Amino acid sequence: MPQVTQRVELVRHTVDGEALTALAAKMCYAGGDLSALLNRIEQNDQRAFIRKILKMGHESVMEHISFTFLIEGISRALLAQLTRHRIASFSVQSQRYVGYEKGFGYVVPPAVEALGKQAVDEYARQMDQMLFWYRDWQEKLGTNEDARFVLPNACETRLLMTMNVRELKHFLALRMCRRAQWEIRQLADTVFALCYGVTPELFADAGPGCLRGKCPEGEKSCGQMNAVRMEREEFVAAHEQSNL
Ligand SMILES: Cc1cc2nc3c(=O)[nH]c(=O)nc-3n(C[C@H](O)[C@H](O)[C@H](O)COP(=O)(O)OP(=O)(O)OC[C@H]3O[C@@H](n4cnc5c(N)ncnc54)[C@H](O)[C@@H]3O)c2cc1C
C-alpha cells in the first residue's frame, strides 16, 4: 500500500482581495456615492489603509475574502484537528462511499521514519494487517460503513477546505505555532505560503502569536521566538527576491 505525502493546492480565491478589504472598510465610513467609492478603490493602492484598519482590530472586513484548498495525503488524525475549526467549510472524502478494497494510502510520522527502514517496514506491515481486517469485515458485513472502524488514524483522507481570511489568520496563529502537532503545522505552513503569495498585505502579520508580541503559550512556550521571527524574515526576503 502507498505511503502518502501531504499535498495542498490553492484552487480558488477571491480576486483582488486587498481592494475588496479596503472597500469593506471604507463602506463603513462612506456617506457619498458608493459607485464612485468603488472606482476610487480600484484605481488606488490600498495597502497603507489596510494596514491601518487591521492594526485597529477591524477584522470583520477580511471575511469577504476567501481561499479554497484541495488537500490530500493527510491522515484522519489531522482531519480530526482541522475540522475543529468551525468557521471553515469542508467537503471530505467519505469512508462510507469510497471503499479500500485495493488498499489505502497512509501517513508515516517523521518520528517513525527517523527510526530507520526496519521501523518503517514494521509500520507498513501493521497497515497491511489492518487492511486485512478491514476486508474481512467488509465481506462479513457487506458494507464499508462498519468495516472502517478497524482502520488507523494514519489512513489517508482528501478534502476541499474553504476559509475566509479572518478565519485563516486565526487558524494560522494556532497551527503555525511550534507547539502545534507536526502534521497540521506542516499544512498550516503551506497554507500560509500560498495565501501570502496571493495577498501579502493581508497575511503580512499572519502566523504564530509570537510574531506579533509576547508568546501566548506562557510557560509552555517553545522559547524559540527569535528563530520563528528570523524564519519569517527569511521567508519574506525570499518572496521579495522571487518577485523581482
Ligand atoms: C496546540 C493545540 C492543542 C490542542 N489540544 C486540544 C485538546 O487536547 N483537546 C481538544 O479538544 N482540543 C484541542 N485543541 C483544539 C482547540 O481547543 C480548538 O478546538 C481548535 O484550535 C479550534 O480553535 P477555535 O475554536 O478558536 O477556532 P474556530 O472554531 O475556527 O473558531 C474561530 C473563533 O470563532 C469564535 N467561535 C467559534 N465558535 C464559537 C462558539 N460556539 N461560541 C463562541 N465563539 C465561537 C471563537 O472566537 C473562535 O476562536 C488544541 C488546539 C491547539 C492549537
Best of 59, 62, 170 to mutate for ligand 1, by most ligand atoms within 8 A of CB?
Answer: 170
175 tagged catalytic: yes
Following DSSP, what letter does each residue of 47-62 receive, concatenated? HHHHHHHHHTT-GGGG
The CATH number that domain 7-91+157-207 falls under is 3.30.1360.170
Catalytic residue among 76, 166, 175, 178: 175
Match 469512508 to its residue by C-alpha cell.
95
The predicted pLDDT at position 54 comes to 85
State the 10-residue block means of pLDDT for the chain, 244 residues long: 95 93 84 77 79 88 97 98 98 95 95 98 97 97 96 98 98 97 98 96 94 91 93 94 82
24 CA from centroid of ligand 1 (Å): 27
pTM of the complete model? 0.94
Give the nearest ligand 1 atom to 184 CA.
Answer: 53
140 CA from centroid of ligand 1 (Å): 39
What does the domain layout of the chain look like in residue ranges? 7-91+157-207
> Is the CB of residue 40 below 6 angstroms from any atom belonging to ligand 1?
no
166 CA from centroid of ligand 1 (Å): 14
* Measured CA distances, 184 to 2, 83, 95, 142, 149 (Å): 21, 11, 21, 34, 23
Buried/exposed 211-244: b ≥16 CB within 10 Å, e otherwise: beeebeeeeebeeebeebeeebeeeeeeeeeeee
pLDDT, tens digit, for every residue of 67-89?
Answer: 999 999 999 999 999 999 999 99
Q: Which of 166, 171, 126 is nearest to 150 (CA)?
A: 126
* Measured CA distances, 159 to 48, 83, 126 (Å): 36, 11, 25
